[in-house]
Structure 1
Amino acid sequence: MSANKRPRRLYRYVIDHDKGFAPNPFFKVCTLACCKPRIRKGAEIGDVIVGYGPAEYGLSGKIIYWMLVDEIIGFDQYWREPEFEKKRPRLGGSLMLNFGDNIYHRDPETGEWIQEHSFHGEQGTVIGKGNLKRDTGRTDRVLIGRDFAYWGGNGPRPPEQFNEFIKSGIGEVYAVKSEDRKEAFIEWLQSLPARGLISEPTDWFHDKKVRKLLETGAVAC
């Protein structure tokens, strides 16, 4: 590690709403483009992010996903890149397309933010002002990970020796007591053979509003 580079961080937080939006684990790339502005602002390439399940669904302490950050880009680049066009939301399509996270880019003439029509907007409008401010106000960064595992509600619980890295409650943390212990936990994560999208998002099974989308013809992919 060079003198100018900080130790990589292990971000941990609880995912309150696991719809496949934040994070978005589809199309072989895991992206964190919305919500969690402090993580998106502070993370660097090489950091690891772990999202745990909510107690509401009996998933406390279980890992929904982990990702290794290998690229960080701005919203405009995310919008323009052909690789990420599939992550633009298409309401009325499959659930995977309904919850696309590629929703922000700037008007090239005015510089104002454009928020594409998505479930992230407020009811009856395209724009969700609260979400727009939260997602773009602190940072213009999208975290991208191609080495990831996303289990939804079927993820593992870390072995007992790694209980110190389990997150509960609100907020996010990256502080650790021991760098060696942190690296051992990351090594355990990466030793798990499963990669990519393993199971569908938790809320596809538990959230009544999402279930209604299924019942009205939006087919899960």
Structure 2
Amino acid sequence: MTVWSYKVARDYGFAPNPFHGVCTLACCKPLIRGHANIGDWVIGAGSKANGLWGKVVYAMIVDETMTFDQYWNDPRFQVKKPVLEGAHKGFFGDNIYQRDGSVDGFRQANSHHSMRDGSVNTDNLRQDTQEDRLLLARQFVYFGANAVTPPQHIFGHLGEPFPRDVRTYKSYSPEMQQAIKDWLLESFDWGLRGLPEAWGNAIEGKRT
């Protein structure tokens, strides 16, 4: 059971999307989405840009994987399709891809990952669909703007910085992985424990 750790450069509640009782990683991070297995942990760390460097933004234990088409068509996840006229939770819906006959092979719904005029953002589409696979977790803790700092008295003696400021991903030694799991499971009530950091400045229609 691997612990994957990476930097959440922008925390909008889109990648990951922690709403409606399921934490989903459906966009960005194709390497993690392509290789993480059921039972693996995925941990998102804050960035210097959002003022959360060295903190844990969220953690999820993967319990299901599916393709974009499966996600798009699954009745359970229609609520995760973007509603651009709604509140932030709807605007940042991450159920945005389905296969079609186009050159790129996928249709991108108007969403946070589209261009400002609603047209397809081909850069985001190509990155997101490098892996036709997304990760889901019912067991997760999402801190968002309330991101937490790991205690050094637990991790300092293990000789590995946690979390590391890496954009792609980092896995840890078995000892460190167990310490990370124990700390998160024993120290917090899991579930939605905060709102996305960017919502403090976000407005309807903002895209990055």
**How is 1:74-153 mapped onto 2 (pairs within 5 angstroms)?**
74-107=67-100, 112-136=105-129, 138-153=130-145
Q: What displacement does 1:109 show?
A: 9.9
**CA distance in structure 1 between the partners assigned to 2:182 and 2:58 by the alignment:** 15
Residue 181 of structure 1 is matched in structure 2 by: 176
What is the TM-score with the length of structure 1 in the denominator?
0.85
Residue 4 of structure 1 is matched in structure 2 by: none
Cα separation, partners in 2 of 1:135 and 1:110, compared to 1, 3 Å? closer
Report the number of matched residues.
Answer: 201
Q: Which amino acid aligns with 2:53?
A: S
Q: CA RMSD in A?
A: 2.1
**CA distance in structure 2 between the partners assigned to 1:54 and 1:117 by the alignment:** 27
What is the TM-score with the length of structure 2 in the denominator?
0.90
Q: Which amino acid aligns with 2:194?
A: S
**CA distance in structure 2 between the partners assigned to 1:67 and 1:141 by the alignment:** 16
Pairing 1:156–2:151 present:
no
Residue of 7, 17, 25 corresponding to 2:18: 25
Residue 204 of structure 2 is matched in structure 1 by: 213
Moved over 4 A (4+): 108-111
Mapped contact 1:118–1:126 kept (Cα < 8 A): no
Q: What displacement does 1:126 show?
A: 2.3
Q: What displacement does 1:183 show?
A: 1.4
Cα separation, partners in 2 of 1:108 and 1:63, compared to 1, 3 Å? same
Pairing 1:52–2:64 present:
no
Mapped contact 1:52–1:61 kept (Cα < 8 A): yes
Q: What displacement does 1:169 show?
A: 4.0
Q: What displacement does 1:157 show?
A: 1.0
**CA distance in structure 2 between the partners assigned to 1:185 and 1:125 by the alignment:** 40
Q: Which amino acid aligns with 2:113?
A: H
**CA distance in structure 2 between the partners assigned to 1:196 and 1:126 by the alignment:** 34
**CA distance in structure 1 between the partners assigned to 2:28 and 2:114 by the alignment:** 13
